[in-house]
Structure 1
Amino acid sequence: MIASDLDGTIIGRDGKISDRTVRAFKDAASAGVEIVFVTGRPPRWLDPLRSRLGHEGKVICSNGAVIYDLATSEVLTARALPHRNIFAAREAILHLHPTTTFAAETTTGFLLEPGFVDSGSVELLDGITPRPLAESLTEADAVVKFLARGKDQDPDAFLADVQPAVNQLVSVTRSSPTVALLEMAQPGINKAVTLAEYAQSLRIDPQDVVAFGDMPNDIEMLEWAGHGYAMGSGHPEAIGAARYRAPDFADDGVAQVIEARLAELDGL
């Protein structure tokens, strides 16, 4: 099995996947390798997988909180955060950093508070009206990712400061390389937990999993997989956690590793 993160791993800031990477994944699939993508993205941001890779399989989304079927456009499983945890974490973060703004990813959409995004962003263009979560969040909303955006904060320092204050309420990580954006889920949920369950359902051993990632939200996955590759261009903590290092994203690092491993299989 190949389990790959998306942004910073195979998708660039321009939203594109290179031709070489597309070929590598298609060659792996043709060789009978199970492919699963494991991302912090919500289901509504998976178009590159369809348009460039033609992928129609399962995708582990929202840092492990959701399993989504691209073939049927259906949420198969969702682990939602209790609303009481969301509001308790919100208050704890505001106590530390009063200018923090918040948003919530649900199984059916996106809710954001005033100030969370800049005017004219894609969220606003999609017709979402910013409102306090206390007003917009309903009992029917299944929140799979709660987000906190710091103002003028160092991303790593923001995570280190907030994590001890909320770790009994939520699991917290980050994936943006430049923005102080925290991503929170149900306690105990991360990419590795859901990937392990998915692999077990297919009777695939961790030792037979090659995983790729580049940011702190990939650390548990890279540690769990028998062959966890951090991107050479990735976050130092991800590089430190992984057993192996792939070349930089700009050098099609994932494609290079896949090509080399497929060549080894051909030589057996």
Structure 2
Amino acid sequence: MSTEPTAPSQYENLSIKMVLSDMDGTLLRSDGSLPDGMFDLLRRLNHSGITFVPASGRQYATLANLFDGSTAGMPIVAENGAYIVRDGMELASFTLSREFVVATVELLRRIASKGCEIGVVLAGKNAAYVERDDEAFMEQVRTYYHANEVLSDQLAYNDEILKIAIFDFDDAESGTLPYLEHLRSDHTVVVSGTHWIDIMDPRVNKGLAVRTLQEKLSIPKDQTMAFGDYPNDIEMLEAVGYPFAMANGHEDVLSVSDFIAPSNEDGGVITVLSNILAQN
């Protein structure tokens, strides 16, 4: 499968009104930072009437901090589509029942007791709640969940839970995922990174978030573009007229995308959008 970036001539003269971008492995560099020139690009997109939307498995608070000072009018899709916020106002959310959260946490405790090295995050609207507090796990938690709280009993949370995230210290797809396959019958279960698995309401994926924004902002599919690199981005890419996989993307993402952007380390999202702005 070719991972050669698409020539700019193949996406000339596009009429784009909204761009969604995944964060890790897509927009962000491997150290988690925004690429150089991102804030200037946001100003140029805004001037051209194009809405930029971060769409990530990360927490809303984390994404808002990342784009601090540039979030006015910017919709933010957090928790893989379970929470959509614009200018501090909730546009949509999809939460998990208390009964399901309790049953799943108890299941994950049993999985951990069998020797799986995992940490569990309950991603709420106000904070992320964890029980395990060793530094190796908390380093991962702090990266993606700036608002976090350690509880002696994780189930003592007082919040609406948007997502259950599992960090597998080995490989999530081959390690923890097989224990969770049965949950897919009535919930969304996605591998969102080498070490992460997300469990959400069965309606939730980034594609639902795209369609929600298209409806609320009156932007059609054929004026929407998206960038992604991992399987949790597939529904988002399928919901837009111009789907871009990153050159460093998972083979499943490459297979559903019409275009390929340079890798995240090569500033692929900025490169493609800069080319589009230069042509219009």
Aligned mate of 2:269, from 250, 254, 258: 254
Aligned residue in 2 for 1:132: 153
Structure 1 residues 175 and 202, CA gap change in structure 2 (3 angstroms): same
Paired amino acid for 1:128: E
Aligned residue in 1 for 2:224: 209
Aligned residue in 2 for 1:143: 161
Aligned residue in 1 for 2:202: 187
Q: Quote the offset at 1:45 in angstroms.
A: 0.3
Deviates more, 1:229-238 or 1:19-28: 19-28
Q: Quote the offset at 1:207 in angstroms.
A: 1.4
Which stretches of structure 1, 4 residues or more, deviate above 4 A after TM superposition?
A: 91-97, 122-127
Aligned residue in 2 for 1:15: 32
Correspondence list, 1:236-255, <5 A: 236-255=251-270
Q: Quote the offset at 1:95 in angstroms.
A: 5.4
Paired amino acid for 2:128: F
Give TM-score scaled by structure 1 length: 0.84
Structure 1: any 5+ residue segments left out of the alignment? none
Q: Quote the offset at 1:204 in angstroms.
A: 1.1
Correspondence list, 1:27-46, <5 A: 27-46=44-63
The 2-side partners of 1:196 and 1:125 are apart by 27
Query: 8 Å contact 2:210–2:239 — kept in the other structure?
Result: no
Query: Equivalent residue of 2:276, what SS?
Result: helix
Correspondence list, 1:22-171, <5 A: 22-46=39-63, 47-51=65-69, 54-56=70-72, 57-69=74-86, 71=87, 73-93=88-108, 98=114, 99=116, 100-114=118-132, 118=136, 121=139, 123=142, 128-134=149-155, 136-138=156-158, 141-152=159-170, 154-158=171-175, 160-171=177-188
Q: Quote the offset at 1:112 in angstroms.
A: 0.6
What's the % identity of the aligned pairs?
A: 24
Query: 8 Å contact 2:244–2:261 — kept in the other structure?
Result: yes
1:198 matched to 2:216? The reply is no
Q: Quote the offset at 1:93 in angstroms.
A: 4.7
The 1-side partners of 2:138 and 2:106 are apart by 28
Aligned residue in 1 for 2:23: 6
Structure 1 residues 94 and 125, CA gap change in structure 2 (3 angstroms): closer
Q: How big is each residue's C-alpha offset from its partner over 1:139-187, in whole Å with a ceiling of 9 and x where there is no partner?
A: xx200111123343x232236514422113421113233x2x2111111
Paired amino acid for 1:137: Y
Structure 1 residues 62 and 125, CA gap change in structure 2 (3 angstroms): closer
Query: Equivalent residue of 2:85, what SS?
Result: strand
The 1-side partners of 2:168 and 2:103 are apart by 17
Q: How big is each residue's C-alpha offset from its partner over 1:175-210, in whole Å with a ceiling of 9 and x where there is no partner?
A: 233x2x211111120111021111112221111111
The 2-side partners of 1:196 and 1:148 are apart by 27
Paired amino acid for 1:65: A
Q: How big is each residue's C-alpha offset from its partner over 1:232-263, in whole Å with a ceiling of 9 and x where there is no partner?
A: 11222222222211111111111121122223
Deviates more, 1:186-195 or 1:82-91: 82-91
Structure 1 residues 126 and 35, CA gap change in structure 2 (3 angstroms): closer
Structure 2: any 5+ residue segments left out of the alignment? 1-17
Paired amino acid for 1:102: V
Query: 8 Å contact 1:75–1:107 — kept in the other structure?
Result: no
Paired amino acid for 2:44: D
Aligned residue in 2 for 1:232: 247
Paired amino acid for 2:274: E
Deviates more, 1:74-83 or 1:2-11: 74-83
Give TM-score scaled by structure 2 length: 0.80
The 2-side partners of 1:116 and 1:219 are apart by 33
Q: What is the root-mean-square deviation of aligned Cα atoms in Å?
A: 2.6
